Structure 1
Amino acid sequence: MDRRDSLDGRTVSTTDRGDVESLLGTEFEVFLNFRGPDTRLNFADCLYHFMDGAGIRVFRDDEEIRKGEAIEGSLEHAIKSSAICMPIFSRNYTSSAWCLRELAYMVDCLKNKDGKKMILPVFFDVNTDDVKLKTGLYHDALQKHEQKFGCDVVQRWKEALREVGLLKGWDLKNRGQGELIRLIVAEVLIKLNRRDKNLPDQLVGMHDYVEDVVRLLDEGSPEVRYIVIHGMGGIGKTTLAMVVFNQISSQFHGCSFLSNVQEASKGGKVVQLQKQLLLEILNFKPVEISDFDAGISQIKRRFRDKKVLIVLDDLNKWDQLTKFAEKRDWFGQGSRIIITTRDTNFLPIKDENQQSSVPMHFEEFKIYQMRELHYRHAHQLFSKHAFRMDSPPYDYDDISCDIIRKASGHPLSLEVIGSSLYCKSKQLWKDTLKKLNLVPTQDVLDKLKISFEMLEDTQKEIFLDIACYFIGEERIHPHYVWKALDFFPRSDIIVLTRMSLIKIVDDRLLMHDLLRDLGREIVRQENLNVPEKRSRLWCPKVALNVMQTRKGTKNIVALKLTRLSKERDFTSDEFASFPSLRFLELEGGNLAGDFKNLLSSLRWLSWHRCPSELQAVNLCLWNLIVLKLSDSDISGNWNGWGHAWQIVT
């Protein structure tokens, strides 16, 4: 008897045992095990061809051509390499010693594969009790085998039958063979389509995040749903998406994780990503794609009836989404699209005016805002990188806690700083802590700076103003200043919020400590050695030194002169070299001298413990927008009110 199998696009004759040695090295996905005379020309044949047509690599064995009694060579390799072994139990199944040998070998492999191999039985014209040997159907054949092979061998076969009989499978009760085959092929595609992402070895604190996202995904819902994981750079968005992807991918007919979509789009690699998407979802190479419009057409046509899981990692423009997953009706019921982004401005979600920047194609996007790690998890993550343990040694506990607090629950910071200190001396730890108190870790800044560089010029200015001065301020106050400078604070604040660069809590401007440090480091990098050539001087000692040495320049737009060692008066001569100053913060002291034609650009003056009598003359702050006088004994007859100031608050 000659049998020919299509394997991986090749037709191979397996009549002779020597011929099948050519199959060694071939990787299979499904191993079909069946009794030839019962199903070879009907059910098993149809199932094989349906799976082959779906792109599944199947090894179809026929026990009738086997010679000898040992499982070895290509047959052993085929069973070992197959992710799924599928025995088809028919009424005469146990009359074949080869079927039973293969079944026992499958069970052995299942036990030794740590759950990576599956056995999915088909109960063709028997039921589970027959396979579990609770009926007499298989007993006569097994007794005959005992006479030939011995009790020990047959006992092993019986145990394999009982174990597989307990597994969930399919049966033909109340349904036709065509319907059952369709269900089997769909399930096999789901089982095979696990494309698990490699996760970091030191994974900490993800459990709650994963539960939150899975809840938003609502796997049981038939609607197509879009989930957006949003947060600052380095917070763990991609890692969270990978964990969720690994956990739920087996529930879909096809899945694909497309990394760095933004970067690929800039590099003209959209078509390449579209090809990857089609290949991973369909499990076979699609037709050639000439441009991204052709790719969109293929996606719409081929995914319409498929329940798919797609992750689009790192998007920042609507145009990028349109190339892969613009509309819900491109996908089958129950599909899920997960997007990670630093910036939600491009998405059709409503802002305060209930307006969307792009046409609405979906009822809504489900937004999940990534949070910083809780201290317990931050402590564990840092320790895993710094000590390869879950907690620091006793003598490193205090300094570890100081460094962990500096990282403020930011996973990337904890990883970078912890890894850099692994196996280093205690003195280096102390030096690192000192540096962290002055200049944040450059590796982290490089990651975070990506978001800053995406901003428009006015948005950068607002970000730097907040980082240097306005953290904790009610947003309405600097809003007036920015508006007077012809910025666009209302829309720009929304942009910064959606990019996770700032937060609004109780109507106050807040910012992660690392982002604050990023903003200040950007200003410091304007000129590392000459502070007066920077735009903002928030460090009081530096600002005071520039004033005392009369080195002010037109570059400087903001000064902070608070918490000085002793109060002092500031003279008109000292302010003469700051023609562009728009923000000034003082604490105590006084203004002295003739301020005619000085501070004409000032929009914001914050003066803690302002004196009741000003010593300045000709102080005309015509463009002042905000005056903040806290902890000051100012009365209605304060001589400062006599100056021509435009005061809003």
Structure 2
Amino acid sequence: MKRKRDSPDAVTMSACVDDGNSSSGTEFEVFLSFRGPDTRLNFTDCLYQSLVKAEVRVFRDDEEIRKGKKIEGEILHAIESSKIYLPIFSRNYASSKWCLRELTHMLESSSKANDKVILPVFYDVNPDDVKLKTQLYLNALKKHQKKLSHDEVWQWREALTKVARIKGWDMKDKSHGEIINTIVDEVLTKLMKRMRNLPDHLVGIHDHVEAIMDMLNEGSCDVRYLVIHGMGGIGKTTLASVVFNKISNQFQGCSFLLDIRESTQQGRIVDLQKQLLLEILQGGSLGIQNSIDVGINTIRERFRGKKVLLVLDDVGNRDQLSKLAGKSDWFGPGSRIIITTRDINFLPIKGKDKESSFQAHSQEFQIYKMTEMDSFHARQLFIKHAFRMDLPPHDFVDISRQITTKTGGLPLALEVIGASLYGESKKFWKGTLQKLELVPNQEVFNKLKISYDMLEPHQREIFLDIACFFIGEDRLHPYYMWKASNYFPTRELPVLTRMSLIKNYDRLWMHDQFRDLGREIVQREDINFPGKRSRLWEPKIAFDVVRMKEGTDKVIALRLTRLCQEHSFTSEEFSKLVNLRYLKLECKNLVGDFKNLLSKLTWLSWSNCPSELNATNLCLEKLAVLRLLGINITEDWAGWGSCLMSENLKVIEINSMSGLKRTPNFSKCLNLKRLVIRQSTNLLVVDGSLFKLEHLKHLEIISYGSLKRDDCDLCPVSFVFDSLKSL
């Protein structure tokens, strides 16, 4: 069986098996059914590529290679797992037994589930042809009747006539590009790809939404900026998400950029530009690479004629805004840019800095101020989280009112404290109330810290790790690190989720107030001496601590990036960091004798990894997660022996731009579960040890050339892929 992949230029192999820790989901979202000779190399290929660029999981079948009489195996799974079916009716569609069998099965599948839909495309035929009102498809069915059973052909007749009555797209005299864009928009809408996930309990938000809708003035053709302003945890992002879901289908392109302030502090403004271009244009980042100025110019040029909806969440300063949505003339008529922020001092509103780069006189920045919840809605929200019902038990009425009053109407605090009290005894409630009474109402930090104080020691460690390093990360990689540290992430992560300390169990995320809470807790471990803190994530502070040899055995996690690129760290600089278990590097090299150093390291991420490693006696025997990124990482790199010696190793990611021509020897990594290799050489030799990894659950090799097993001649990718699948 052959399946076409995302890019004609890249060889992409993916063998994924549920490892028991992640929830299984739909493998495909869209199933394309078409007659190969009619449309494979034109319309269908363009539609397929557009859907893939919009991050839709598409199965593209080719009936020309099918044999046998029954739909089975991957085809059957693809049809049954997909939510949207796109049959492309061409002149010879009905002449294909496989196309008709697929169509019949799609119709059966959609009739059994309310969430499945068929969207027909009439490529070079009329709906009447498919309804069998003309001879075109009738003649094809008559030919089938001579060789096949009457019942099967009759099922095909029924399927054709039923699907033809569904509203679809008639391609006659229509631009392919225009129709494809329309189809992609419809698919994204059906899949709710543009919709934001909302909290289970939305209380007191209706009036806010109505006020925002009035200010947006949807019918107006001007470009409008609307700013939702308020303190952290007040519900700005939730309000923006509700409005986004309500109006996103009225725009040609939509994008919701989260945590801009945090991303900018990590030097990821170009990533935000790429995400914006990807979501609005449903395509790639258009080669902006790592140039902010190119990104600005590309956004301005490509969005000028589009009506877009853009949400910029948690904007912290003028510079961030200027690089994403600097001026109203960047966008087409009717566009709306919604900004959430804690501070409006940087905004170019009238009466402020007239010389601002945003030209305040030419833009309308409307401000919507969010305030704390009134007592009625605050109590309602608290009760929903504390009791999972609309009214509290009679004997909890008074204490519920007292606790609600102490939270100060902050939705985040109401949600967190309420969730932490769910199912607890009256005595526990009274203890919580006593803690709240000791905390000044104005200090949100202390209110939120009550939830942190309720955690067990391992839960606290995981919470602090996420707050400092793993927001936005797929939880599976740090899961292995925590497990290697003898924590219990399978049990602890659900606890953090239920207490609302983290959101979205599969991809780690927490509200910025909790991120700040966690980092403040770490900073208060020692206000004056950073080297005595458990975690150092700010590049300058971490670099200074290590360079000045001020680190201590208290430090367990360290991020040395950005400012450290041209520095080679010595063994002496790491000599006191004996308990380090997490290290993220972006340095020139490691130098010196590392014997007995980094012996507890469970996570190593090294960007700009040098081709020559100057460290000796480096022994990472506890390593669980390894990520390497380097322009000239080769198969002869001296660090392979140090990094690939751990039986605890569960995850390996290797990104080599040009140097790697052969995969390293994995013979000592017998418990490896996830392996990703990305490189761009003309030939990648796959080491035979890869085929002996019995515990491997996820394999991804992306190469822009050919693949070769080390024990056989150059062979087709399909042969290597089949060998890897045997794992």
Which category describes the TM-score, using the shorter chain as reference length? 0.5 to 0.7
The counterpart of 1:8, out of the listed 6, 29, 36, is: 6
Q: Deviation string for 1:303-322 (max 9, x for gaps)?
A: 33444332211123222210
Give the SS at the match of 2:244.
helix
Shift in CA distance, 142/225, structure 1 to aligned 2, threshold 3 Å: farther
User: How far off its partner does 1:8 sit?
Assistant: 1.6
Instruction: Confirm or deny that 1:417 pairs with 2:417.
Output: yes
Q: Alpha-carbon deviations, 1:450-502, whole Å to 9, x = none? A: xxxxxxxxxxxxxxxxxxxxxxxxxxxxxxxxxxxxxxxxxxxxxxxxxxxxx
Measured in 1, the distance between the counterparts of 2:314 and 2:30 equals: 35
| Residue type of the alignment partner of 1:87 | P
Partner Cα separation in structure 2 for residue 373 and residue 146 of structure 1: 70
Find out whether 1:390 has 2:374 as its counterpart.
no
Distance in 1 (alpha carbons) for counterparts of 2:258 and 2:383: 29
Letter in 2 for 1:245: F
Cα–Cα, structure 1 residues 191 and 401, in superposed 2: closer, same or farther, change >3 Å? same
For residue 385 of structure 1, give the secondary structure of its aligned residue in structure 2: helix
Given that residues 407 and 441 in structure 2 are in contact (C-alpha distance below 8 angstroms), is that contact kept between their aligned partners in structure 1? no
CA distance in 1, matches of 2:311, 2:248: 11
Q: Which residue identity is paired with 1:9?
A: S
2:236 corresponding residue in structure 1:
237
The CA deviation at 1:66 is: 2.3
State whether residues 264 and 270 of structure 1, in contact with CA within 8 Å, keep that contact through their aligned partners in structure 2. Answer: yes
Q: Give deviations 1:567-605, integer Å, cap 9, x for gaps.
A: xxxxxxxxxxxxxxxxxxxxxxxxxxxxxxxxxxxxxxx
Distance (whole Å) between structure 1 residues aligned to residue 384 and residue 62 of structure 2: 53
Which structure 2 residues correspond to residues 106-185 of structure 1 after superposition, within 5 A?
Answer: 106-110=106-110, 115=115, 118-128=117-127, 131=130, 138=137, 141-142=140-141, 150=149, 153=152, 156-158=155-157, 160-173=159-172, 175=174, 180-181=179-180, 183-184=182-183
Per the TM alignment, residue 27 of structure 1 is displaced from its structure 2 partner at its CA by 6.4
- The 5-angstrom pairing of residues 135-534 of structure 1 reads 138=137, 141-142=140-141, 150=149, 153=152, 156-158=155-157, 160-173=159-172, 175=174, 180-181=179-180, 183-184=182-183, 194-219=193-218, 221-282=220-281, 283-350=283-350, 359-360=359-360, 362-373=362-373, 377-407=377-407, 409-433=409-433, 436-437=436-437, 439-440=439-440, 444-445=444-445
Determine whether 1:70 maps to 2:83.
no
Q: 1:10 to 1:36 in 2, by over 3 A?
A: closer
Deviations 1:404-462 (A, max 9, x none): 3444543123113312322222233344445545634698345899xxxxxxxxxxxxx
- The higher-RCO structure (CA 8 Å, 6+ apart) is 2
Determine if contact 1:121/1:168 at 8 Å carries over to the other structure: yes
Distance in 2 between the 1:154 and 1:401 partners? 69
CA distance in 2, matches of 1:378, 1:440: 18
Q: CA RMSD in A?
A: 4.4
Deviates more, 1:404-413 or 1:332-341: 404-413
Q: 1:264 and 1:42 mapped to 2: Cα distance?
A: 40
Q: 1:447 to 1:427 in 2, by over 3 A?
A: closer
Secondary structure (helix, strand or coil) at the match of 2:325 reads: coil
Please state whether the residue corresponding to 1:245 is helix, strand or coil: helix
Q: Aligned letter for 1:413? A: A
Label 1:73 to 1:248 Cα distance change in 2 as closer, same or farther (>3 A).
farther
1:298–1:118 Cα change, 3 Å: farther
Output the CA distance in 2 between the equivalents of 1:441 and 1:397: 21
Q: Could you tell me how far 1:324 is from its partner in structure 2?
A: 0.8
Amino acid at match of 2:5: L
* Per-residue deviation, residues 106-156 of structure 1 (Å, max 9, x unmatched): 3445456663x5532212344445545677865565576577665665565
CA drift at 1:349? 2.5
Normalised TM-score (structure 2)? 0.51
Distance 1:131 1:220, change over 3 A: farther
CA contact 1:412–1:444 (8 Å) conserved in 2: no
Q: Percent identity?
A: 59
Does structure 1 retain, via aligned residues, the 8 Å contact 2:188–2:194? no
> Is the Cα–Cα contact under 8 Å of residues 350 and 360 in structure 2 kept in the other structure?
no
The aligned residue for residue 565 of structure 1 is none
Seen in structure 2, the aligned counterparts of structure 1 residues 231 and 11 have a Cα distance that, compared at 3 Å, is: closer
Rounded Cα–Cα distance in structure 2 between residues aligned with 1:374 and 1:112: 46
Cα deviations by residue, 1:190-234 (Å, 9 ceiling, x for unpaired): 777925444334443444434443454455554433222222322
Change (3 A) 1:370 1:280: same
State the alpha-carbon separation in 2 of the partners of residues 54 and 417 from structure 1.
Answer: 39
TM (norm. structure 1) is 0.56
**CA 364–49 in structure 1, closer or farther in 2 if over 3 Å, else same:** closer
The amino acid across from 2:297 in the alignment is S
Alignment partners' CA distance in 2, 1:174 and 1:291: 41
Classify the secondary structure of the residue corresponding to 1:200.
Answer: coil
Measure the CA separation in 2 of the matches of 1:21 and 1:272.
Answer: 25
Distance 1:73 1:208 in 2: 52
Question: Which is further off, 157-166 or 61-70?
Answer: 157-166
Q: Give 1:529-608 correspondences, 5 Å limit.
A: none
Which range is displaced more, 197-206 or 62-71? Answer: 197-206
Gap change, CA 1:37 and 1:234, over 3 Å in 2: closer
| 1:509-550 Cα shifts (integer Å, max 9, x gaps) | xxxxxxxxxxxxxxxxxxxxxxxxxxxxxxxxxxxxxxxxxx
- Equivalent residue pairs, number: 439
Query: Secondary structure of the residue that 1:164 maps to in structure 2?
Result: helix
1:282-335 Cα offsets, whole Å, 9 max, x none, are 432442533433332332234334443322111232222101111122233443
Contact 1:317 1:346 in 2 (8 A): yes
In structure 2, give the amino acid aligned to 1:414: L
Secondary structure at the residue paired with 1:428? Answer: helix
Give the Å deviation of 1:33: 1.9
Whole-angstrom distance in 2 between the partners of 1:445 and 1:23: 45
In the alignment, what sits opposite 1:94? 94
Residue 236 and residue 94 in structure 1: after superposition, are their counterparts in 2 closer, same or farther (change >3 A)? Answer: same
Secondary structure of 1:338's aligned partner: strand
Structure whose alpha-carbon radius of gyration is higher: 1
The structural deviation recorded for 1:390 is 2.9
Deviates more, 1:232-241 or 1:73-82: 73-82
Partner of 1:594: none
The question of whether the paired residues in 2 share the 8 Å contact of 1:309 and 1:336 is answered with yes
CA contact (8 A) 1:190 1:251 kept: no
Q: CA deviation at 1:340?
A: 0.4
SS of match in other structure, 2:312: strand
Q: Matched residues in 2 for 1:107 and 1:220: separation? A: 39
Against the structure 1 CA distance between its residues 102 and 316, is the aligned structure 2 distance closer, same or farther, given a 3 Å change threshold? same
How far residue 181 of structure 1 moved from its aligned partner, in angstroms, is 4.8
- Partners of 1:5 and 1:11 lie apart in 2 by 15
Are the aligned partners of 1:233 and 1:448 in contact in 2 as well (CA < 8 Å)? no
Distance in 2, matches of 1:432 and 1:261, equals 34
TM superposition shift of 1:170: 1.2
Q: CA deviation at 1:71?
A: 1.9
Residues 251 and 308 of structure 2 are in contact (CA less than 8 Å); yes or no, is this contact kept in structure 1?
A: yes
- What is the 5 A alignment of 1:609-648? none
Unaligned 5+ segments in structure 2 are 18-25, 450-727
Return closer, same or farther for 1:158/1:248 CA change in 2, 3 Å cut-off: farther
Change (3 A) 1:55 1:222: farther
Shift in alpha-carbon separation, 1:86–1:392, aligned structure 2, 3 A: same
Q: Distance in 1 between matches of 2:211 and 2:129?
A: 44
Aligned residue for 1:68, secondary structure, equals coil
CA distance in 1, matches of 2:130, 2:175: 21
Change (3 A) 1:8 1:155: same
What are the Cα deviations for residues 334-353 of structure 1, in whole angstroms up to 9, with x where unaligned?
433221012223222235x9
CA distance in 2, matches of 1:278, 1:68: 44
> Quick one: distance in 1 between partners of 2:371 and 2:442?
22
Q: Amino acid of the residue matched to residue 387 of structure 1?
A: F
CA contact (8 A) 1:233 1:447 kept: no
Task: Show the counterpart of 1:483.
Answer: none
Task: Please report how far the alpha carbon of residue 364 of structure 1 lies from its aligned counterpart in structure 2 after TM superposition.
Answer: 0.9
